[in-house]
């Protein structure tokens, strides 16, 4: 238990340092924007200052659904905004204050707020993507693949144009793991309601998956299985695997001074600003090195 606590402190320290040390110029930042009435229902907005925004991304951070803070992930906002993207980094309520599916309802409220207010102010910055790392990638994927959450928040809200997932646990059963079974107790009788992969169908949006093969926290099969399921349903999906990248280095690779770790920012930018997707007929199976 003590080792786990120290590991979590180390993780948060690395991410906080990255956020502090990697600010970028020519970026407008609006902090503490309320998308709801509760303390953790706020987001920070990063947008390019001197050029037109090319898309909007709603980013959800990881932390096992029980830790994290949007202020720690400023480096994500700065990185993507430096490529001409408008980025909302959203907080959401955490365990033990809440359990599944309440954090999904927060995510849907944040997404709808961005779609109805910020996206309209971004001067044609469609489309709107959902993105996340680790537990945040899970949230982004479930939000996009199960339309019920967004419909409950606002029936007429536009669907996400795509999913960008970094090292997400899309296929595991969270009701059976000791670290997550209490968080997902409400899904114990019907665990598929808490598995993003279970909602994949022909209407699912295009998806970019980034996975480190040195990840000892979220196993690569999650990304591989999700990519395979999406393609089997006729949905465009790309999985890029980085042989030497671990779980935390995956998201840290977006930070200005750490992009030598992997070209993840290039992959995300290419996906977010490309309205068309190449034909995947005859493409190789999901998986393999970048």
Domains of the chain: 2-272 (3.40.50.1820)
Q: What is the dihedral of CA 106, 107, 112, 113, to 10 degrees?
A: 70
DSSP state of 123: S
The whole-angstrom separation of Cα 129 and Cα 148 is 17
68-122 tens-digit pLDDT = 999 999 999 999 999 999 999 999 999 999 999 999 999 999 999 999 988 666 5
DSSP state of 62: -
Residue linked to tokens 């490309």: 274
The whole-angstrom separation of Cα 257 and Cα 30 is 23
193-221 tens-digit pLDDT = 999 999 999 999 999 999 999 999 999 99
Residues 252-268 have a mean pLDDT of 96
Sheet (strand 207-212) strand order: 27-34, 42-48, 86-90, 56-60, 128-133, 162-166, 207-212, 237-242
Residues 130-151 have a mean pLDDT of 98
Query: How far is Cα of residue 130 from the mean position of the Cα atoms in its chain?
Result: 6
Q: What is the pLDDT of residue 212?
A: 97
The whole-angstrom separation of Cα 7 and Cα 56 is 33
Q: pLDDT band for position 38 (50/70/90)?
A: very high
- DSSP H/E element including 27: strand 27-34
pTM comes to 0.91
């Amino acid at each position: 238990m003590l080792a786990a606590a120290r590991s979590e402190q180390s993780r948060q320290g690395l991410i906080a340092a990255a956020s502090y040390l990697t600010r970028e110029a020519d970026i407008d930042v609006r902090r503490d924007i309320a998308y709801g009435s509760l303390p953790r229902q706020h987001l920070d907005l990063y947008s390019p200052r001197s050029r037109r925004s090319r898309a909007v991304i709603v980013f959800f951070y990881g932390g096992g659904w029980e830790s994290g803070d949007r202020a720690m992930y400023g480096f994500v906002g700065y990185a993507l905004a430096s490529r001409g993207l408008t980025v909302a980094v959203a907080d959401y309520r955490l365990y033990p204050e809440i359990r599944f599916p309440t954090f999904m309802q927060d995510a849907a409220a944040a997404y709808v707020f961005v779609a109805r207010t910020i996206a309209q102010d971004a001067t044609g910055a469609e489309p709107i993507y959902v993105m996340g790392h680790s537990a945040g990638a899970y949230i982004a994927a479930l939000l996009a693949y199960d339309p019920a959450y967004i419909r409950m928040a606002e029936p007429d809200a536009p669907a996400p144009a795509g999913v960008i997932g970094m090292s997400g646990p899309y296929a595991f059963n969270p009701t059976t793991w000791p670290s997550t079974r209490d968080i997902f107790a409400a899904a114990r009788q019907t665990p598929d309601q808490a598995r993003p992969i279970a909602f994949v169908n022909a209407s699912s949006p295009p998806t970019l998956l980034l996975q480190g093969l040195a990840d000892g926290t979220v196993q690569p099969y999650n990304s591989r299985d999700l990519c395979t399921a999406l393609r089997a349903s006729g949905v465009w999906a790309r999985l890029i695997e980085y042989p030497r990248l671990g779980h935390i280095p995956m998201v840290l690779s977006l930070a200005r001074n750490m992009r030598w770790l992997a070209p993840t920012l290039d992959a995300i930018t290419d996906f977010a600003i490309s309205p068309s997707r190449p034909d995947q007929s005859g493409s190789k199976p999901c998986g393999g090195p970048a």
